[in-house]
Amino acid sequence: MPVYVMGSDSAQNPLALGSVEDGLSFIWSLGKLGVLEIQPRHTQAGVSVSPSHSFSVLVKACSAGRTSLKVCVQPTNTSLSDQLTDEIQILVFEVMQLNAGTSTSVLMSPHSQYVLQSNKHSICPVRYSLCQCVSGAGLVTIDDKGVLSAGPDTGVALLEIIAMEECGINQTLLITVKVSAVWFVRAVSESSLHSEGDGALPAFPLGWRIRISALYYDNLGQRFHAHNTLTHITTNRDDLVQVTTDTNSHSFLVQTVSPGLTVLGIEGDHSNPALCDYTPLPVLPAISAPPAVLRPGDTVCFSSPLTDRSGQHGTWDVSSSQILRVDPETGAALAKNSGTVVVYYWLEGGQQALREVTVKAASVPTLSPPENRLLTNWPLAPDYIVELNTNNSAANTAQCSLRQQESIEKTLQPEAELCCILHFSAPYKQLNTLQAVFHTTPLYYMDTAQYGCRISVQPQSDPVLHLLSSLSFSISLSASLQAQSPLAVFPLSPPASVQLPYVPAFHCPNTHINLTPQQPVAEITVTGTSEMLNNLKFHSDNPDIMLSEPSLSAENPALCLVSVYLAVIQSTEKASLPASITIYTPLSPQTHIVRVSILNDSQTATGQLEVWHASPVRQLFDFQLIVLFALFAVLAVISVMFIVYNSLLHRLQTVPVVYTPPSSTLPAVKQQFSPWISQSPRMDRILHRRQWLCGISQASPPHAPPSLRLSS
């Protein structure tokens, strides 16, 4: 609707306002957003009008409601702050229309009813009336609630519907009502089927829900809005579909339960055989079938071309996860137990496709050790892999996508269903040692759909290698597929067992030997079983190093002795190249290298000196020298301390002491001091110590003790 600005009289119209020299600015605003939209003129042509020329705008109604439109006019080329404003109220109401049917005509059959419902039914008063000017008055009747009833006759009538708005405006709607006989019926299927690439499907998916509606038409092919025909639906196969009545008597819900072809028949009147329609309803599973027979332990990838409206795939589910475990995101599945299970493919809106899958009983598995290898306890031996044949087919995983293969490896983990156990026929004391040496790991190969047990050897200490080298025992491996569920107490398949060809690794404690002109012969000892010792090979890479024939020890049959000697004794100063002796056996990949050093005379003397320096006697002698040196050091320190102490004490005594021989005439002992020296309690001790140091202490008779006299 156009809106423009006017002045106080007719002379101040937009023609005059647009000719103002100084120019005016027109600013438009709304009191409530969402009801109206202000659009400048010429927007559809791509021209933007400036505010000085916006004295006319367009107002577009967006939704029903009431709002205010305000305009502010102010000069643009002056500093005056005067402005003129005006405001109007605008009411926006909805256009009256029927909720169902068309706005121009309604087609009815005789003796039928039709309820007219408009969008003004609960907003404002609505009045229904039949126009008397149209021929056919009395053909139909209508009440105050809008219920239109047709009589037994056919013809055309005009219906007037008046909606009285609150603002005083009346909206009038004229409806043509036609009463005609039903000529034919048509069955229409309503289903939200979408597939990848928008391609057509050959049949309805198994498990899908289809809505079938019966539509009735007159002789001109116009569909009836109301009729009084009772609709019946029949099928030729009740075991393929299930039919239930929908919200009204003219629509039905068909649930597909089995694959096959079903014929649906729609009958409008039993007395009129021509008033019927028949439609085929083919049903096929929309979920791919397993390419081969499924057994416990098999992996299979399901797929479906169905998608939702946005092209997204659905989610997967099964009726029993104890029989078949499926990844809900990718459709990759793992068979766990024998039985029959239903696989579901759920899409948005509650629609589903399903397929019945049967997992047959597990066959007796067989273990196949490598033909050209023997199991050994050598720590550096490669892994020993025993294949388990469960009669599974690799065709089930041949069609898996990369995403499904990743799901099998990370989510399903088929190898977790396999249990590999080693059994040792060894003494009880060595069982813990053997269990710590050999470690089993289950394997699954997706390309062949087969399982396997990998036996790896753990690192061992030298005493353990020596113990196992001569220990004769047998190893057997048992493997079976186990269920992850706690309900499965027994294995899915009977355990397969096989005795593994085992040979103990030989043990050689020698890693380095020296050959000298004085000792040109050395001995290498190897422990092992009789089978291992009989197949040992010794090889020297230096022609100067000769080896004797291996011989078994008479005291210990598990000990093999080999002598190593020089072909030519070298006594020159020329150094010989280092050599090595390799010990190996064709029974296992085990090898052992013994380094050989050929020493001449000078190297021998140097070696003897080094041996003397490294011998325990030499170490004990060095220790005694250290103790003796420490003892002399302590004595020297004590002597120095004694001399220093004596000299310091001598410097403290400044008055000389004169010794007076004892006199027999003196009746008693008398000590005299100089008048200028005061007697102190320490004087007696000092005098006594000095007599002891100078060696002047003598035994005096009891009646004549020695006397001291101080003189200047």
Considering the four listed CATH numbers 2.160.20.10, 1.10.760.10, 2.60.40.10, 3.10.20.600, the one that applies to the domain covering 512-614 is: 2.60.40.10
Residue 664 makes CB contacts below 8 A (sequence gap 6+) with: 704
Of 412, 414, 433, 434, which Cα lies nearest the Cα of 423?
Answer: 434
Amino acid residing at 681? P
Most confident of 85-99, 298-312, 564-578, 648-662: 298-312
> Quick one: pLDDT at residue 517?
78
Taking a C-beta distance cutoff of 8 angstroms, is the pair 417, 481 a contact? yes
Tokens (6 digits) for 295: 């057994």
Q: Is the predicted pLDDT of residue 486 greater than 50, yes or no? A: no
Domain ranges of the chain: 2-92, 105-179, 184-284, 366-500, 512-614, 649-712
Residue 658 makes CB contacts below 8 A (sequence gap 6+) with: 708, 709, 710, 711
Taking a C-beta distance cutoff of 8 angstroms, is the pair 185, 236 a contact? no
DSSP lists the bridge partners of residue 358 as 340
Cα–Cα distance measured from residue 269 to residue 288, given in angstroms and rounded to the nearest whole number = 42
Q: Label residue 422 exposed, middle or buried (CB < 10 Å: 0-12, 13-18, 19+).
A: middle
Q: pLDDT-derived band of residue 78, with 50, 70 and 90 as boundaries?
A: low
Mean pLDDT, all residues of the chain: 82
Domain 105-179 bears CATH identifier 2.60.40.10 = yes
Cα angle 663-667-670, degrees, rounded to a multiple of 5? 80
Taking a C-beta distance cutoff of 8 angstroms, is the pair 109, 182 a contact? yes
Cα 285 → chain centroid: 32
At residue 575, the 3 state secondary structure works out as coil
pLDDT in tens, 553-588: 888 888 999 999 887 765 545 556 678 999 999 999
How crowded is residue 129: how many other Cβ atoms within 10 Å of its Cβ? 11
Q: Do domains 2-92 and 512-614 have the same CATH topology?
A: yes
Strands 315-318 and 324-326: unpaired
> Quick one: pLDDT at residue 4?
87
DSSP class of residue 375 equals: B
Tokens 């909720």 identify what position?
A: 99
> Quick one: pLDDT at residue 519?
83
* H or E element, residue 36: strand 36-40
Range 2-92: architecture per CATH:
Sandwich (2.60)
Comparing 496 with 3, the larger pLDDT belongs to 3
Residue 674 makes CB contacts below 8 A (sequence gap 6+) with: 655, 710, 711, 712
Domain 184-284 bears CATH identifier 2.60.40.1080 = yes
DSSP lists the bridge partners of residue 284 as 205
- Comparing 38-47, 121-130, 174-183, 488-497, the range with the smallest average pLDDT is 488-497
3-state SS record for 125-138: CEEEEECCCCCCCC
Sign for the CA dihedral angle at 682, 683, 687, 690 comes to positive
Strands 551-552 and 579-584: unpaired
